Structure 1
Amino acid sequence: MTVQQPAREFLKSEPGLEPVIVEGLFRATPARVFRAFTEPEEVRCWFLPKGGNLVAAEIDLKVGGRWCFVIEKTDEKQIHFEGEYLAIEAPNRLEFSWRHVQEFADGTREATDSSKVTVLFEEAGKATEVKLRHEAIKTEDARRGVGGGWNGCFLRLVEFVVE
């Protein structure tokens, strides 16, 4: 009989509380982990928490530059996350705004209010400690969803960036 190992838990804040705090140790350099967050072809490999790949990822990596990660695209609608870069200090810090958007075929959009994500990449021996803070999320349900989403993404990222 196989004993199932408990899932790794990266979510450090209480589910539903503000801000959402997610932290993890990754067996790679800060530059490697930073690249996983900032290069479209890399983001597409780990960003969805439950497996699979993003439909598309666009990144204009400069302060004021926009990013967009497409989760689902059909003839009727597109679901994606988008925002702008607020601060970039490669390979140690990344800060960006965040919105969840549904865009319909008729051109209408439904978007959440903008929230803010700050990610710190700190060298820890031969590894990198990543500290992510996602704040200004309006509702408890949304914070629960975001926390679970980031936790799932970190589960995939920890395997993706191993050097």
Structure 2
Amino acid sequence: MIPPVPDDATTLVLRRVFKATRARVFRAWIEPEALQRWFRPRGLHMTVSRLDTWEGGAFRFDVENGVSITGTYLHVLPPQRLSFTWSDASVQGQETIVTLDFFDLGTSTEVVLTHERLTTQEMRALFSGGWPSLFDTLAQVISGPQDI
């Protein structure tokens, strides 16, 4: 059995500055075509099966390896904040919460990602590696010539 994470370590906070406007970075999180370009494990294809980007709206992403990510939007405040529940096999039937805050730095944007309710060491380790990898892919996509 995997030991639980101490209460003070159930939240993961990551910060990243992207060389794109706040509106462009925010759109990358809420438009299906954009999400499919970057929001997936490296080397795998992901399909946006549902994306209702309003408070109370649901989403479902299906990865070609059989994993489905589902959740509900809790806060949608363009282009400042996006918060949603997260459920997939990695969270062992639990529901975690992801909050993204977007800070305008002129031609760049700082994103602060807060992932809460990571109740095991395994979950925390998985997301500690997964989110930075996704951020790397997002940075490549939004710095490219195609508009998001």
What TM-score bracket applies, with the shorter chain setting the length?
0.7 to 0.9
Secondary structure of 1:95 counterpart: strand
The residue identity in structure 2 corresponding to 1:98 is W
Measure, in 2, the Cα distance between the counterparts of 1:160 and 1:97.
24
Q: Which runs of 5+ in 2 are unaligned?
A: 1-8
Q: Provide runs of 4+ in structure 1 moved above 2 Å.
A: 55-58
1:10-49 alignment runs, 5 A limit: 17-49=9-41
Which digits, 9 at most, give the CA deviation of each residue in 1:90-129, with x for residues without a partner? 0110000000149xxxxxxx95200100000111121000
Matched, 1:120 2:108: no
Measure, in 1, the Cα distance between the counterparts of 2:29 and 2:61.
12
Secondary structure of 1:55 counterpart: strand
The residue identity in structure 1 corresponding to 2:58 is R
2:59 is matched with: 67
User: 55, 71, 91: which is aligned to 2:79?
Assistant: 91
Secondary structure of 1:125 counterpart: coil
Matched, 1:159 2:147: no
1:56 is matched with: 48
Contact 1:49 1:150 in 2 (8 A): no
Q: CA deviation at 1:51?
A: 3.4
Contact 2:35 2:48 in 1 (8 A): no
User: 66, 69, 72: which is aligned to 1:81?
Assistant: 69
Contact 1:92 1:122 in 2 (8 A): yes
Paired residues in the alignment total 136
RMSD over aligned Cα, in angstroms?
A: 1.9
Which digits, 9 at most, give the CA deviation of each residue in 1:55-102, with x for residues without a partner? 3342101110001111136xxxx4211100000100110000000149
Whichever structure has more helix as a proportion of its residues is: 2
Secondary structure of 2:54 counterpart: coil
Measure, in 2, the Cα distance between the counterparts of 1:140 and 1:95.
23
Structure 1 vs Structure 2: percent identity of aligned residues?
A: 34
Q: CA deviation at 1:54?
A: 0.7
1:130 is matched with: 111
2:127 is matched with: 146
Normalized against structure 2, the TM-score is what?
A: 0.84
